[in-house]
Amino acid sequence: MRDLAADGIDVVRVSYPDLIGVERARDVLVERLPAAVDHGLSFCRAVYHTTPGGETVEVPGGMDAGLPDIRVRPDLSTLAKIPWEDGIASCLGEAHEPASDDLCPEGPREVLRRALARLGELGMHAVAGPEFEYYLCEPDPSSPTGWRRYADAPGNVYTSGRKGDPDGHVLRVLRHLRDLGLGVTMGNHEFGGGQFEINLDHSAALDAADRAFRFKSSVQEIARSEGRLATFMAKPFNDQDGSGFHVHLSCLDADGHNVFEGSERDGLSGTAHHAIAGILEHAPALAALLNPTINSYKRFGPDSLAPWLIDWGLDNRSAMVRIPPERGAASRLEVRLGDASANPYLGIAGLIAAVYLGVRDKASAPPPLEGYGYDAARSPALPGDLSAALDALAADEALTDVLGEPFVTAFLTYKRDEVARFRRYVTDWEFREYAYHL
């Protein structure tokens, strides 16, 4: 408290992720921080099960149990000053059961810890490097959505500076997030108009997921302070490509040696090939975690540079799993399956669970993709919609066992409600397509 006061901090924002990765939080006056640390902050458990529209889904343990509490305790090891807000610091919170010190099984941080513990049984520790793309939008009352793309000039692919970012948005974000300690490394204008990418450094998987979660929330807050909207929606516009969440993944042994390093086939170890095989084998179920919305599956398709088929390749961006050209200690997998709407804790947890299963079972991968992909005659297709992906997750008993049945039940219930609500909703496309002629 003395250190915070000396730094001009009088409020601490305690935040944690819900099932879909939305930041839930409470601002605590510094003088009340000791009580929050000792006893935790009470939140209704149903916040895990609340839709973006504010409706509560009937997930077991929520409404049926009378809407009980969870206790969120500040994790002061994650405390950092918010550079764009005067007098405020932030930290992550740990969600506990109300009457014990047990962590909530559907809490995304706990789901990831569970997967890491299983990987640890094999003497392996995961390292992850997340990459995110997002669109920046400005208010536009004339638009049906109320927003238009920021700096929407064509052709500003992989540029920096005022040409594609006339107001210097990326520079502000990079500097703010550097000062927040999130390990950002670089940023640029991406492929689509008004689309940007910012990369984060690699680190131990839980730390990487923590930083990715805070990264997304921070970018959204910085955009709001500019009067803009930063969206990590998978495909917000019909005429532009979607936004990805790529994960560079490697594993270390107890001595810190990269176990994917090797001189076997393709310059990788046998362990790396088992890991690739595990991800391919469980890819249909992983899609539910890494492509978790109705909109996610509109990003897929031929020639989109987003995965459509279950395959892998050597330095091949048309494959679902790309092996970057570096070898030795830098050997790693780049999993390109995810889109930016994914909860980073759950996406990384799913990948680690699949790697664990592949290595444990010594699974075998098919030969790598040769040439340009998107040929359905060569590789099986990923699920075509969210409903199919949820069915694949429900059927994948091995992956469910690693992630935890309480979490999977909650996630499936929540997401199947989303599918059911969408199927009942009349879209603008339907009215334009049918109303005049039928």
pLDDT tens track for 347-400 = 999 999 999 999 999 999 999 999 888 888 889 999 999 999 999 999 999 999
Crossing angle of the two packed helices 386-395 and 283-290, in degrees rounded to 10? 120
The whole-number pLDDT of residue 100 equals: 83
End-to-end CA distance of the chain: 68
> 26-57 burial, b for 16+ CB within 10 Å, e for fewer?
bebebeebeebbeebbebebbbbbbeeeeebb
Rounded Cα–Cα distance for residues 275 and 283 (Å): 12
CB 137 within 8 A of CB 228: yes
The whole-number pLDDT of residue 298 equals: 94
Crossing angle of the two packed helices 205-225 and 108-120, in degrees rounded to 10? 160
| For the chain, domain boundaries | 4-104, 113-424
CATH class of 113-424: alpha beta
- Give backbone dihedrals phi and psi of 60, rounded to 5 degrees, phi first: -55, 135
Please give the CATH topology (third level) of the domain spanning 4-104.
Ubiquitin-like (UB roll) (3.10.20)
Tokens representing residue 235 in the block: 């495909």
What residues have CB less than 8 Å from 214, skipping those under 6 apart? 15, 90, 92, 180, 182
Q: pTM of the entire structure?
A: 0.96
CA nearest to 116, candidates 412, 411, 351: 351
The whole-number pLDDT of residue 65 equals: 79
Rounded Cα–Cα distance for residues 341 and 295 (Å): 9
The backbone region for 40, taken as left when phi is positive above 0, alpha when psi lies in -120 to 50, beta otherwise, is left
Residues of the chain with pLDDT under 50: none
- DSSP of 361-395: TT--PPPPB-SS---TTTSPBPPSSHHHHHHHHHH
The whole-number pLDDT of residue 304 equals: 75
- Find the angle CA(350)-CA(237)-CA(195) to the nearest 5 degrees: 75
Rounded Cα–Cα distance for residues 221 and 228 (Å): 9
DSSP bridge partners of 204: 127
Going by the DSSP 8-state scheme, the letter that residue 104 receives in this structure is: P
What residues have CB less than 8 Å from 25, skipping those under 6 apart? 13, 14, 15, 16, 90
Q: Using CB atoms within 10 A of its CB, is residue 428 exposed (0-12), middle (13-18) or buried (19+)?
A: exposed
CB atoms near residue 121 (< 10 Å): 9
CB 415 within 8 A of CB 51: no
